[in-house]
């Protein structure tokens, strides 16, 4: 990604509120037409980051540029209304006293009435609500409100659209549907987007690129697949996909764990201690009176079930099984690894770098019995 | 006046047409929300035009360039509009002078003039009582009146230094309720009211300038000690305090109190309002003590005013038979010049046994106020 | 690191105007200090006399009593008309708001003539029951009753608004946790209402401190009365200034109390505008006492004065009415009061916006200082403007603009309160959305914020309008020549015992003032 393709650039941006550092040393770039998802737990600074880009907060250090033009830098601060940044808020923030049409029109500077009406209609068509001109926000459903919000933000043809957890107010059903629709709309409009959320599924789905934030810093950045399968820290692994960890020792050809030998290429010396990160789809188990582990609970999830298992060491792990394989709680079982890919390794919370690529890991040997 | 009304109605009609057309059009294009804007606009336009009129009213110090005009006159009046406006109008009509009057209470007007100081736009201060005139005179804001003017009335009713003159007289009386009080039981002099038989039956207005002037008279004639004794004696009879003469007399009328220490002319106002059956009458104390004091409402020329000659003309007019007749017949006050008959029903001035205290001696209200505060009539 | 653009705009649009407004409001204080500096030992003596201190104590006791009574009455009435199934709720809502339009000097006079020992009521009862004299209501009881009945809407209106806005989920969840009606009210509703109660109570306290008309007719000597006596009898402006400064000090004290209670109240404002309607509380047999209460208040505060006025009006009509003067005065009243409402509203905008959106030291102080004029007697403000006006701007002296300035100083807090609470309900997120769409903050204010705070604007304007209609002292001293208002007409007639003549202007004053009040009470009523 070259600089001239990036619409938004942040360089070492920091912001404190009193003593509390909300954003620290963040550097990011968003390419034209891409959706950057910023994911992190509450309080990680992602909303502040968004507000800094929008121009509602002034950074203490660092530079922010939009379309190559610095909007926040030492001695420079362009206020929000001149930044050409569109914003979609968590609580729709539609103007309650204006109709849908008037809301969308709000940011359009075109003076010709006919032109404005056309643009509004075009946007309404884009978001799939072509007939709702004269309704008021309170007459619409949550999903409709958010789509109108998006249309309104798109109307002035902004350089970038910032979305702050826009689906969190909706129920699960609406959320899924809207997520789909909105991504299609954004791609159709070829918008550059910075999308903030705490929902990892959403982040994985929406983003072309992803950045994970924690305590005001960007912990990892990259495309969702890469971040998911090669998390840079145990925090990211847990946060993104609920990874679990078991201690392991590096042995010749792989790792020795309490679940047995895991064959994997490891770039560390023998005898080194590491944590192996894995997810519930990386474990399998079967009834075995001598297995040493016990099923504690079964969480029926529809097509899959999630089993909580206590290993011999007392550690708790989870394993995902297709719904037709049922095991009753209390069953003694034997657990082993079934990874189908290279499992990430960690030392002191940080990932141990691996020379293997994603495609390599997919061709990895399945675990031994 | 008629021309103005005609123009106004014509313009109003046109405006009405336009507004009507706009409203109908709005309905035609199905844009009913616009109606609110129309009404707001109408309201704002009315407001703006009225405000413009009010704002462009001529301020008193702007001199009139037109030599044909007789000039203007600015009066600050502590006398109420309903009482003196007719006679002031007469003056304005007779002389063609543009008279601008500010009405308020005497003390408010005095305070205003004192605050304005030497920049005051007032030409004449028309006061209800000598206290206010005295205060303004003491601050050096009144101009000496010409001696020809002062010679027109008895020197009793003029300030000793010629700074202001009385215009109409008011006598202190005791008003009594005709249903509960037999006039024969009323004492000859003020001292009689300290008798315990009057306990709870007396009403008086301690903050009123006329009452305070009367007490000043008591101090002059009886001396401080005796006045103090009398005040304490009255207080022992648990009088009811009112803020002005009017409510005092009203209370006498309803029977809330049986007697009230007021000025004489209020009664006639009440009788005019409520008819002859109003159950109160005036009692002029026969002993000729300071309880029968005659005080004046008066006027002075404010030195800083710009219309000196008009001011003198005004005061002259107030002392003319026309005006004095007005005071006698319309406000039931005593005229102060010779040749004007006393209003019917009033004891003529000469027979009043009124005590002869020069007005100048009555202007010291401060001492009286201090005394009243000490004893407990005033907070 | 902030660019210069941000602060210049805020400076011009917010800080500068608010500073100008505060400067205007402080003119009387400056005047008082100037006059007080001329005070000699005698003046100080007047101030520190025991009787003066006793009067001060009386004033404070009366103020405290009236404030407590109005809060009690207002909260009860507000709750009855908003939350319960009281029959005729909307009508009671309107009627109980109306006593505010009656000037205190008119109200007190009518009360005295109706309920005095030998007043109209006694006249009616005498042939029936042989009652010769009613117990005297003069003194503390009369002053207390009159002030309470005439000023309680100042608390009731904001409390009603807060009740309507409140999220029903709060009370519902309390009920689901086992609280009875009274428990819900005490533990959930009342704390939520605290900020609006405090704001209204402040206005009532200042109103009763500065009132002169009612207390003088009811013969209760308050501190303000002592100030007037200095002007009236002693012509002593220095002593009056000293005493007035004491009033200012008390005002500042009351203000800090209110501000402190409001700080805690910020917790509660987020739970507003919740979706859903409130469940109506069934009164059952409590309905009858409730109706008696409402009817009693309305009778004493509205019906009685109206009846007495009607009686006098009939007498006036018998004598032949003089309409032209009254109509002219009515026109003047309308113009002055409407312009005052607009001016005061405009002046309150920067202060309210600062208080809500940019809290800080200046916001707090400007809001505090804006209240100073409300407690001062009209004559003090008028004389202050005489003093400065005649020296600084002769051409404006005794013109309508100067009178409007006096109204601004006197009535600013009325507008600030309602604008503040309306602004609190417009989440700043809407303004940010507007700015993110490319509109300047001023445009956003005009197109987004203003339309949304319209209820608060209307309420503030209505309050200022009806208070300006009643204003007497400053109008007498500062208005242009010949500019009579309905208030001055009433006073002029009453002061010379022409009661019949006063009835027409008084009724007209009350009717005209009721119109904006009715409008804004009724339009926001839920069905």
Mutate to test the interface with B, among C136, C138, C235 (most CBs of B within 10 A): C235
Instruction: State how far the alpha carbon of A265 is from the alpha carbons of A248, A268, C311, in Å.
Output: 14, 9, 106
Identify which of A337, A40, A357 has the alpha carbon closest to the alpha carbon of residue A230: A357
- A362 lies in a domain? no
CA atoms within 13 A on the CB side of B378: 27
Higher pLDDT, B345 or C61: C61
pLDDT at C271 over 50: no
CB spacing of C473 vs B83 below 8 angstroms? no
Same domain? For A273 and A141 the reply is no
- If asked whether residues A199 and A308 sit together in one domain, one would say no
Does A302 fall in a domain?
yes
Element (H, E) at C61: helix C50-83
Task: Note whether residue A297 is domain-resident.
Answer: yes
pLDDT of residue B65: 46
pLDDT of residue A1: 44
**Which pLDDT score, from 0 to 100, does residue B354 have?**
62
Query: What percent of chain C lies above the pLDDT cut of 70?
Result: 94
Strand-pair partners of A300: A305
Rounded Cα–Cα distance for residues B100 and C32 (Å) = 30
Q: A109 and A178 in one domain?
A: yes
Residue B59 has pLDDT above 50, yes or no: no
Write the residue in C2, C438, C452 that is nearest to A81 by C-beta.
Answer: C438
Mean of per-residue pLDDT scores for chain C: 84
Q: Chains touching chain A at 3 or more Cβ pairs under 8 angstroms?
A: C
B47 and C339 within 8 Å at the Cβ level: the answer is yes
| CA torsion through residues C239, C244, C250, C256, sign | negative
DSSP 3-state of B260? strand
Average pLDDT over residues A225-253: 88
Q: Could you tell me the two tokens for C463?
A: 């309050």
Measured CA distances, C399 to A270, C360, C404, C474 (Å): 97, 37, 9, 12
* Interchain proximity C437–A85, CB inside 8 Å: no
Query: What pLDDT sits at residue B316?
Result: 92
Per DSSP (E only), the strands in C56-215 are none
CA–CA gap between residue A334 and residue A283 (Å, rounded): 11
Which residue, A181, A202, A235, sits at the end of a domain?
A: A235
Could you tell me the pLDDT band of residue C256, with boundaries at 50, 70 and 90?
A: confident
From the candidates C277, C437, C443, C446, which should be mutated to test the interface with A, based on the most A CB atoms within 10 A? C437
Instruction: Please tell me the total count of domains within chain A.
Output: 2
- Are the C-beta atoms of A152 and A106 separated by less than 8 Å? yes
Per 3-state DSSP, what percentage of chain B is helix, strand, and coil (rounded to 5)?
A: 50, 15, 35
Please give the residue of chain C at the shortest CA–CA distance from A104. Answer: C437
Say what the pLDDT of residue B202 is: 93
Distance from CA of B186 to the nearest CA of C (A): 22
What mean pLDDT comes out for the span A85-105? 87
Predicted pLDDT at B355: 64
- Give yes or no: residues A192 and A304 share one domain: no
The CATH number covering residue A58 comes to: 3.40.50.300
- pLDDT, residue A163, reads 93
Q: What is the pLDDT of residue B78?
A: 92
Are 3 or more Cβ–Cβ pairs between C and B shorter than 8 Å? Answer: yes
Enter the DSSP assignment of B244: S
Closest by CA position to C506, among listed C51, C104, C16: C104
Contact C437 A91 (CB under 8 A): no
Please report the pLDDT score of residue C309 as a whole number. 84
Q: Do C368 and C252 meet the contact criterion of CB atoms below 8 Å apart? A: yes
Would you list the DSSP string of B15-28? HHHHHHHHHHHHHH
β-bridge mates for residue A70, sequence order: A65
Q: What pLDDT sits at residue C213?
A: 83
DSSP state of A80: G
Beta strands in B79-218 (DSSP E): 98-103, 124-127, 142-143, 164-177, 202-204
So what's the pLDDT on residue C276? 57
Give dist(CA A327, CA A311) in Å, integer.
Answer: 16
A13 & A159 share domain: yes
Span C335-352, pLDDT tens digits: 999 999 999 999 999 999
> Do residue B47 and residue C338 have CB atoms under 8 angstroms apart?
yes
Partners of B60 on chain C (C-beta within 8 Å) are 398, 481
**Partner residues linked to C84 by β-bridges:** C281
Q: Quick check: A113 pLDDT over 60?
A: yes
Sort strands B202-204 and B259-263 into parallel, antiparallel or unpaired: parallel
Answering whether pTM is above 0.90, one says no
CA distances from A160 to A88, A119, A125, A186, C300 (A): 11, 18, 21, 11, 65
CATH class, C9-523 region: mainly alpha
When mean pLDDT is compared across B62-76, B179-193, B314-328, C391-405, the lowest value belongs to B62-76
The reported pLDDT for the residue numbered A12 is 93
Res B378 pLDDT > 80: yes
Residue C129 contacts B, CB cutoff 8 Å: no
Highest mean pLDDT, choosing among B140-149, B281-290, C260-269: B140-149
Q: Decide if A368 is inside a domain.
A: no
The mean pLDDT value for C22-27 works out to: 93
- Asked whether residue A338 falls in the same domain as residue A218, the answer is no
Looking at the fold, whether A205 and A277 belong to one and the same domain comes out as no
Average pLDDT of the residues in A216-228: 89
Interface test with C, best of A106, A108, A109, A150 (most C CBs within 10 A): A106
Average pLDDT over residues A88-112: 85
Four-residue CA torsion sign, B197, B201, B207, B210: negative
Are A132 and A225 in a shared domain? yes
* Domain span including residue A315: 258-348
Residue from A80, A110, A120, A160 to probe the interface with C (highest C Cβ count within 10 Å): A80
Residue carrying the six token digits 């009609």? B13
* Spatial distance between the Cα atoms of C197 and C201, rounded to a whole number of angstroms: 6
Residues A229 and A267 in one domain: no
A176, burial (CB in 10 Å: exposed 0-12, middle 13-18, buried 19+): middle
Question: Is the CB of A84 less than 8 angstroms away from the CB of C438?
Answer: yes
Nearest to B202 by CA among B242, B170, B246, B244: B242
In a domain, A164, yes or no: yes
Kindly state whether residues A162 and A264 are assigned to the same domain.
Answer: no
From the CB coordinates, do chains C and A have 3 or more pairs under 8 Å? yes
Within 8 A by CB and 6+ apart from B20, the residues are none
Cβ within 8 Å, pair B273-C219: no
Residue A209 domain-assigned (yes or no) = yes
Q: Structure tokens of B151? A: 């010679």
Residues in chain C: 527
pLDDT at residue A128 above 90? no
Average pLDDT over residues B79-91: 90
Residue A369 counted as domain residue = no
The token pair at B295 is: 């005080």
Residue of higher predicted confidence among A122 and C174: A122
Q: Is residue A167 in some structural domain?
A: yes
Number of Cβ atoms within 10 Å of the Cβ of B205: 23
Q: Are residues A272 and A230 in the same domain?
A: no
Residues A159 and A53 in one domain: yes
C51 touches chain B (CB under 8 A): yes
Of B57, B244, B379, the CB nearest to C495: B244
pLDDT at B4 over 60: yes
Instruction: State how far the Cα of A186 lies from the Cα of A183, in Å rounded to an integer.
Output: 5
């Amino acid at each position: 990604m070259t600089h001239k393709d990036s619409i938004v650039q942040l360089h070492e941006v920091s912001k404190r509120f009193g003593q509390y550092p909300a954003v620290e040393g963040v550097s990011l770039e968003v390419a034209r037409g891409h959706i950057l998802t910023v994911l992190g737990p509450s309080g990680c600074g992602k909303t502040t980051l968004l507000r800094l880009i929008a121009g509602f907060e002034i950074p203490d250090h660092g530079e922010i540029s939009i379309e190559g033009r610095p909007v926040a830098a030492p001695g420079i601060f362009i206020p929000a209304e001149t930044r050409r940044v569109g914003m979609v808020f968590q609580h729709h923030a539609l103007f309650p006293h204006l109709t849908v049409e008037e809301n969308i029109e709000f940011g359009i500077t075109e003076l010709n009435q006919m032109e404005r009406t056309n643009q509004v209609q075009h946007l309404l068509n884009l978001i799939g609500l072509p007939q709702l001109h004269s309704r008021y926000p309170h007459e619409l459903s949550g999903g409709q409100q958010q789509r109108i919000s998006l249309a309104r933000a798109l109307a002035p043809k902004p350089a970038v659209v910032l979305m702050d957890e826009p689906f969190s107010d909706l129920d699960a059903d609406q959320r899924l549907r809207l997520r789909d629709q909105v991504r299609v709309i954004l791609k159709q409009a070829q918008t550059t987007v910075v999308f903030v959320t705490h929902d990892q599924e959403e982040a994985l789905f929406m983003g072309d690129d992803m950045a994970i934030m924690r305590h005001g810093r960007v912990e990892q950045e990259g495309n969702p697949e890469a971040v998911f399968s090669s998390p840079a820290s145990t925090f990211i692994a847990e946060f993104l996909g609920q990874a679990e960890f078991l201690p392991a020792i590096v042995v010749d050809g792989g790792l020795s764990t309490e679940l047995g030998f895991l064959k994997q290429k490891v770039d560390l010396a023998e005898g080194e201690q590491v944590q192996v990160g894995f997810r519930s789809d990386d474990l399998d188990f079967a009834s075995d009176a001598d297995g040493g582990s016990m099923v504690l609970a079964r969480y029926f999830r529809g097509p899959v079930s999630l089993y909580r298992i206590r290993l011999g060491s007392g550690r708790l792990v989870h394993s995902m099984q297709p719904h037709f394989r049922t095991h009753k709680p209390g069953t003694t079982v034997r657990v082993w690894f079934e990874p189908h890919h290279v499992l990430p390794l960690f030392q002191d919370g940080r990932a141990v770098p691996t020379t293997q690529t994603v495609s390599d890991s997919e061709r990895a040997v399945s675990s031994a019995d | 006046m008629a021309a103005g009304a005609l123009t106004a109605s014509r313009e109003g009609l046109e405006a009405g047409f336009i507004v009507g057309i706009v409203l109908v059009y709005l309905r035609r294009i199905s844009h009913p929300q616009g109606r609110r804007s129309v009404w707001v606009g109408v309201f704002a336009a009315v407001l703006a035009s009225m405000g413009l009129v009010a704002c462009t009213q001529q301020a008193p110090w702007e001199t009139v360039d037109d030599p044909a005009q007789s000039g203007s006159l600015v009066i600050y009046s502590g006398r109420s509009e309903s009482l003196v406006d007719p006679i002031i109008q007469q003056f304005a009509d007779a002389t063609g002078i543009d008279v601008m009057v500010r009405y308020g209470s005497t003390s408010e007007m005095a305070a205003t003039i004192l605050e304005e100081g030497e920049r005051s736009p007032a030409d004449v201060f028309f006061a209800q009582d000598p206290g206010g005139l005295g205060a303004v005179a003491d601050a050096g804001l009144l101009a000496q009146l010409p001696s020809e003017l002062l010679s027109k009335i008895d020197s009793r009713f003029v300030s000793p230094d010629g700074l202001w003159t009385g215009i109409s007289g008011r006598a202190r009386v005791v008003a009594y309720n005709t249903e509960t009080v037999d006039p024969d039981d009323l004492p000859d002099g003020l001292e009689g009211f300290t008798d315990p038989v009057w306990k709870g039956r007396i009403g008086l207005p301690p903050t009123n300038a006329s009452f305070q002037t009367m007490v000043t008279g008591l101090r002059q004639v009886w001396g401080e000690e005796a006045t103090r004794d009398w005040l304490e004696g009255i207080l022992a009879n648990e009088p009811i305090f009112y803020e002005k003469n009017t409510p005092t007399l009203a209370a006498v009328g309803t029977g809330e109190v049986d007697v009230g220490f007021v000025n004489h002319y209020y009664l006639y106002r009440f009788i005019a309002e409520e008819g002859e059956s109003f159950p109160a009458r005036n009692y002029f104390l026969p002993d000729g003590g300071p309880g029968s004091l005659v005080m004046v409402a008066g006027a002075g020329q404010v030195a800083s005013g710009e219309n000196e000659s008009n001011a003198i003309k005004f005061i002259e007019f107030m002392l003319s038979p026309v005006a004095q007749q007005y005071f006698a017949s319309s406000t039931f006050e005593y005229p102060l010049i010779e040749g004007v008959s006393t209003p019917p029903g009033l004891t003529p001035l000469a027979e009043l046994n009124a005590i002869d205290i020069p007005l100048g001696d009555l202007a010291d209200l401060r001492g009286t106020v201090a005394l009243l505060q000490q004893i407990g009539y005033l907070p | 690191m902030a660019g210069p653009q941000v602060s210049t705009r805020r400076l011009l649009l917010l800080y500068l105007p608010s500073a100008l407004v505060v400067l205007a409001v402080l003119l009387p204080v400056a005047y008082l200090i100037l006059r007080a500096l001329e005070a000699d030992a005698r003046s100080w003596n007047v101030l520190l006399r025991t009787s003066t201190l006793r009067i001060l104590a009386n004033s404070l006791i009366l103020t405290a009593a009236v404030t407590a009574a109005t809060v009690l009455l207002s909260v009860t009435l507000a709750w009855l008309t908003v939350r319960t199934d009281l029959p005729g709720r909307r009508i009671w809502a309107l009627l109980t708001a109306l006593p505010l339009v009656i000037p205190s000097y008119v109200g007190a006079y009518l009360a005295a003539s109706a309920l005095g020992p030998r007043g109209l009521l006694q006249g009616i009862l005498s042939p029936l029951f042989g009652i010769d004299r009613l117990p005297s209501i003069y003194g503390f009881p009369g002053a207390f009753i009159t002030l309470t009945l005439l000023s309680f809407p100042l608390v009731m209106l904001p409390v009603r608004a807060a009740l309507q806005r409140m999220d029903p989920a709060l009370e519902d969840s309390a009920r689901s946790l086992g609280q009875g009606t009274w428990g819900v009210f005490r533990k959930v509703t009342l704390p939520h209402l605290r900020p609006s109660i405090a704001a209204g109570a402040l206005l009532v306290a200042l109103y009763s401190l500065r009132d002169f008309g009612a207390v003088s007719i009811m013969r209760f000597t308050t501190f303000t009365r002592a100030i007037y006596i200095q002007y009236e009898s002693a012509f002593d402006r220095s002593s009056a200034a000293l005493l007035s400064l004491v009033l200012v000090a008390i005002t500042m004290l009351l203000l800090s109390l209110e501000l402190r209670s409001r700080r805690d109240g910020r917790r509660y404002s987020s739970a507003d505008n919740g979706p859903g309607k409130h469940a109506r509380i069934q009164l059952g047999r409590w309905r009858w006492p409730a109706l008696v209460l409402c009817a009693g208040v309305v009778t004493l505060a509205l019906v009685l004065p109206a009846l007495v006025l009607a009686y006098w009006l009939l007498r006036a009509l018998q004598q032949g009415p003089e309409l032209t003067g009254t109509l002219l005065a009515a026109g003047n009243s309308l113009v002055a009061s409407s312009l005052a409402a607009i001016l005061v509203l405009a002046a309150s905008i920067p202060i309210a916006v600062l208080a809500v959106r940019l809290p800080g030291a200046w916001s707090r102080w400007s809001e505090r200082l804006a209240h100073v004029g409300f407690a001062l007697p009209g004559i003090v403000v008028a004389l202050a403007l005489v003093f400065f006006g005649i020296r600084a701007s002769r051409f404006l002296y005794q013109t309508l603009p100067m009178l409007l300035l006096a109204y601004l100083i006197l009535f600013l807090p009325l507008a600030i309160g309602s604008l503040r609470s309306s602004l609190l309900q417009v989440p700043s997120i809407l303004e940010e959305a507007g700015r993110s769409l490319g509109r300047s903050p001023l445009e956003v204010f005009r197109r987004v914020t203003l339309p949304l705070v319209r209820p608060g604007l209307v309420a503030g304007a209505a309050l200022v309008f009806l208070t300006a209609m009643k204003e007497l002292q400053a109008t007498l001293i500062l208005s242009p020549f010949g500019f009579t208002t309905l208030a001055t007409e009433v006073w002029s007639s009453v002061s010379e015992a022409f009661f019949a003549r006063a009835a027409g202007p008084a009724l007209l004053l009350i009717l005209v003032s009721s119109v904006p009040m009715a409008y804004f009470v009724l339009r926001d009523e839920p069905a």
